[in-house]
Chains A and B, each alone.
Chain A
Amino acid sequence: MLGRLIGGLLLALGTGRASAAYRLNFQPPVTRIASEIYDLHMLMMYVIIAVFCVVFGVMFYSIYAHRKSVGHKAAQFHENTTVEIIWTAIPFLILLGMAWPATKTLIAFKDTSSPDITIKATGYQWKWGYDYIKGDGEGIAFLSNLATPQDQIHNLKPKGENYLLEVDNPLVVPVGKKVRILTTANDVIHSFWVPAFGIKQDAIPGFVRDTWFKADKEGTYRGQCAELCGKDHGFMPIVVEVVSQEKYALWVAGQKTNAAAAAEVPNKQWSPDELKAKGEKVYAANCVACHQATGKGLPPAFPALDGSKIATGDKAAHIDRVLNGKPGTAMAAFGKQLSDTELAAVITYERNAWGNKTGDAVQPAEVKAARK
Chain B
Amino acid sequence: MSAVIDTHGHRHDDHADHPSGLMRWVTTTNHKDIGTMYLWFSFTMLLLGGVLALTIRAELFEPGLQIVNPEFFNQLTTMHGLIMIFGAIMPAFVGFANWQIPMMIGAPDMAFARMNNWSFWLLPVAASLLVISFFVPGGAPAAGWTMYAPLSTQMGPGMDLGIFAVHIMGASSIMGSINIITTILNMRAPGMTLMKMPMFVWTWLITAYMLIAVMPVLAGAITMVLADRHLGTSFFNAAGGGDPVMFQHIFWFFGHPEVYIMILPAFGIISQVIPAFARKPLFGYASMVYATSSIAILSFLVWAHHMFTVGLPTAGLLFFMYATMLIAVPTGVKVFNWLATMWKGSMTFETPMLFAVGFLFVFVIGGFTGLMLAIMPVDVQLQDTYYVVAHFHYVLVAGSLFAIFAGTYFWIPKWTGRMYDETLGKWHFWLSLVFFNITFFPMHFLGLAGMPRRIPDYASQFTEFNMIITVGAFGFGLSQLLFLYTVLKCSVFGKGDKAPARPWEGADTLEWTHLPSPAPYHSFHEQPVVK
**A and B interact:** yes
* Residues of A bordering B, CB below 8 Å: 4-5, 8-9, 11-13, 17-18, 20-27, 33-34, 36-37, 40-41, 44-45, 48, 51-52, 55-56, 58-59, 62-63, 66-69, 72-80, 83-84, 87-88, 91-92, 95, 98-99, 102-103, 105-107, 109-110, 152-155, 159, 161-165, 187-189, 191, 193, 195, 198-202, 204-207, 209-210, 223-235, 298, 300-301, 330
Q: How many Å lie between the Cα of A102 and that of B335 in the bound state? A: 25
Contacts of B357 in A (CB 8 A): 59, 63
Pair B381/A200 contact, Cβ less than 8 Å: yes
Contact with A along B41-78 (1 / 0, CB 8 A): 00000000000000000000111111001110010000
Pair A74/B455 contact, Cβ less than 8 Å: no
Pair A95/B64 contact, Cβ less than 8 Å: no
Of the candidates A23, A62, A153, which one forms a contact with B65 in the assembled complex, judged by CB atoms under 8 Å apart? A153
Pair A106/B463 contact, Cβ less than 8 Å: no
Q: How many Å lie between the Cα of A4 and that of B463 in the bound state? A: 13
Pair A79/B284 contact, Cβ less than 8 Å: yes
B216 an interface residue at 8 Å Cβ cutoff?
A: no
Pair A109/B151 contact, Cβ less than 8 Å: no
Contacts of A99 in B (CB 8 A): 321-322, 325
Pair A78/B454 contact, Cβ less than 8 Å: no
25 contacts between A and B (CB under 8 A): A5-B61, A21-B463, A23-B449, A24-B448, A26-B381, A26-B450, A41-B381, A52-B368, A62-B344, A72-B344, A77-B344, A78-B282, A78-B284, A78-B341, A80-B284, A110-B314, A152-B64, A164-B63, A199-B380, A202-B309, A207-B243, A207-B245, A228-B384, A230-B142, A234-B454
Contacts of A8 in B (CB 8 A): 61-62, 463, 467
Q: Tell me which residues from 451 to 490 in chain B have a Cβ below 8 Å from any Cβ of chain A.
A: 452, 454-461, 463-465, 467-468, 471
List 8 extra interface pairs beyond A48-B368, A59-B361, A162-B459, CB under 8 A. Answer: A12-B464, A12-B467, A21-B464, A23-B448, A34-B381, A37-B380, A78-B284, A199-B380
B378 an interface residue at 8 Å Cβ cutoff?
A: yes
Also in contact, A79 and B339, with CB within 8 A (given A154-B65, A230-B154, A231-B71): no
Contacts of A206 in B (CB 8 A): 237-239, 243-244
Contacts of B464 in A (CB 8 A): 11-13, 17, 21-22
Also in contact, A40 and B311, with CB within 8 A (given A95-B328, A233-B455): no
Contact with A along B279-291 (1 / 0, CB 8 A): 1111111110000
Number of interface residues of B (CB under 8 A): 99
Q: Which residue of A lies closest to B313 (CB)?
A: A110
Q: How many Å lie between the Cα of A37 and that of B347 in the bound state? A: 43
Also in contact, A62 and B460, with CB within 8 A (given A23-B449, A41-B378, A228-B143): no
Instruction: Return A70 CB to nearest CB of chain B, in Å.
Output: 9
Q: Which residue of A lies closest to B279 (CB)?
A: A74
Instruction: Return A45 CB to nearest CB of chain B, in Å.
Output: 8
Contacts of A231 in B (CB 8 A): 69-71, 74, 142
Pair A95/B377 contact, Cβ less than 8 Å: no
B278 an interface residue at 8 Å Cβ cutoff?
A: yes
Also in contact, A4 and B281, with CB within 8 A (given A58-B339, A228-B454): no
Of the candidates A67, A189, A191, which one forms a contact with B347 in the assembled complex, judged by CB atoms under 8 Å apart? A67
Pair A9/B458 contact, Cβ less than 8 Å: no
Also in contact, A204 and B328, with CB within 8 A (given A21-B463, A59-B339, A152-B64): no
Pair B64/A153 contact, Cβ less than 8 Å: yes
Pair A68/B348 contact, Cβ less than 8 Å: yes
Contacts of B463 in A (CB 8 A): 8, 11-12, 17, 21
Also in contact, A78 and B456, with CB within 8 A (given A98-B375, A202-B310): no
B376 an interface residue at 8 Å Cβ cutoff?
A: yes
Contacts of B280 in A (CB 8 A): 74-76, 78
Also in contact, A164 and B70, with CB within 8 A (given A22-B445, A44-B375): no
Q: Which residue of A lies closest to B445 (CB)?
A: A24
Also in contact, A27 and B449, with CB within 8 A (given A18-B461, A37-B378): yes
B138 an interface residue at 8 Å Cβ cutoff?
A: yes
* Residues of B bordering A, CB below 8 Å: 61-66, 69-71, 74, 137-138, 142-144, 148, 150-151, 154, 237-239, 243-245, 278-287, 309-311, 314, 317-318, 321-322, 325-326, 328-329, 332-333, 335-336, 339-349, 357, 360-361, 364-365, 368, 371-372, 375-378, 380-381, 383-385, 445, 448-450, 452, 454-461, 463-465, 467-468, 471, 506
Pair B137/A230 contact, Cβ less than 8 Å: no
Q: Which residue of B lies closest to A61 (CB)?
A: B343
A-B contact count (CB 8 A): 310
Also in contact, A66 and B344, with CB within 8 A (given A9-B471, A301-B138): yes
Of the candidates B61, B309, B377, which one forms a contact with A106 in the assembled complex, judged by CB atoms under 8 Å apart? B377
Also in contact, A165 and B459, with CB within 8 A (given A58-B339, A59-B339, A102-B376): yes
Also in contact, A103 and B326, with CB within 8 A (given A23-B445, A78-B280, A231-B74): no
Contacts of A67 in B (CB 8 A): 346-349
Of the candidates A18, A66, A80, A106, which one forms a contact with B342 in the assembled complex, judged by CB atoms under 8 Å apart? A66
Pair B461/A23 contact, Cβ less than 8 Å: yes
Pair A40/B377 contact, Cβ less than 8 Å: yes
Q: How many Å lie between the Cα of A26 and that of B445 in the bound state? A: 8
Pair B458/A204 contact, Cβ less than 8 Å: no
Of the candidates B66, B287, B326, B346, which one forms a contact with A84 in the assembled complex, judged by CB atoms under 8 Å apart? B287
Pair A191/B322 contact, Cβ less than 8 Å: no
Interface SS of A by simple majority? mixed
Pair A88/B329 contact, Cβ less than 8 Å: yes
Q: How many Å lie between the Cα of A88 and that of B457 in the bound state? A: 44
Q: How many Å lie between the Cα of A264 and that of B142 in the bound state? A: 40
Instruction: Return B314 CB to nearest CB of chain A, in Å.
Output: 5
Q: How many Å lie between the Cα of A206 and that of B281 in the bound state? A: 58
Also in contact, A224 and B314, with CB within 8 A (given A66-B344, A78-B280): no
Pair B339/A62 contact, Cβ less than 8 Å: yes
Contacts of A23 in B (CB 8 A): 445, 448-449, 461
Contacts of B506 in A (CB 8 A): 74
Contacts of A45 in B (CB 8 A): 372
Q: Which residue of B lies closest to A90 (CB)?
A: B332
Pair B71/A154 contact, Cβ less than 8 Å: no
Closest 5 interchain pairs by CB?
A206-B238, A234-B455, A209-B311, A20-B461, A74-B346
Pair A228/B309 contact, Cβ less than 8 Å: no
Contacts of A37 in B (CB 8 A): 377-378, 380-381
Contacts of B468 in A (CB 8 A): 12
Contacts of B371 in A (CB 8 A): 44, 48
Q: Which residue of A lies closest to B357 (CB)?
A: A63
Instruction: Return B54 CB to nearest CB of chain A, in Å.
Output: 14
Pair B328/A228 contact, Cβ less than 8 Å: no
Q: How many Å lie between the Cα of A293 and that of B144 in the bound state? A: 28
Of the candidates B150, B318, B343, B465, which one forms a contact with A103 in the assembled complex, judged by CB atoms under 8 Å apart? B318
Also in contact, A153 and B151, with CB within 8 A (given A12-B463, A66-B346, A201-B309): no
Also in contact, A226 and B383, with CB within 8 A (given A164-B459, A189-B150, A189-B151): yes
Instruction: Return B452 CB to nearest CB of chain A, in Å.
Output: 5
Instruction: Return B318 CB to nearest CB of chain A, in Å.
Output: 6
Pair A207/B238 contact, Cβ less than 8 Å: yes
Also in contact, A68 and B245, with CB within 8 A (given A36-B377, A48-B371, A234-B457): no
Q: Which residue of A lies closest to B338 (CB)?
A: A59
Q: Which residue of B lies closest to A59 (CB)?
A: B339
Contacts of A62 in B (CB 8 A): 339, 342-345, 347
Of the candidates A22, A154, A164, A230, which one forms a contact with B74 in the assembled complex, judged by CB atoms under 8 Å apart? A230
Pair B62/A4 contact, Cβ less than 8 Å: yes
Contacts of A72 in B (CB 8 A): 344-347
Pair B326/A66 contact, Cβ less than 8 Å: no
Pair A228/B343 contact, Cβ less than 8 Å: no
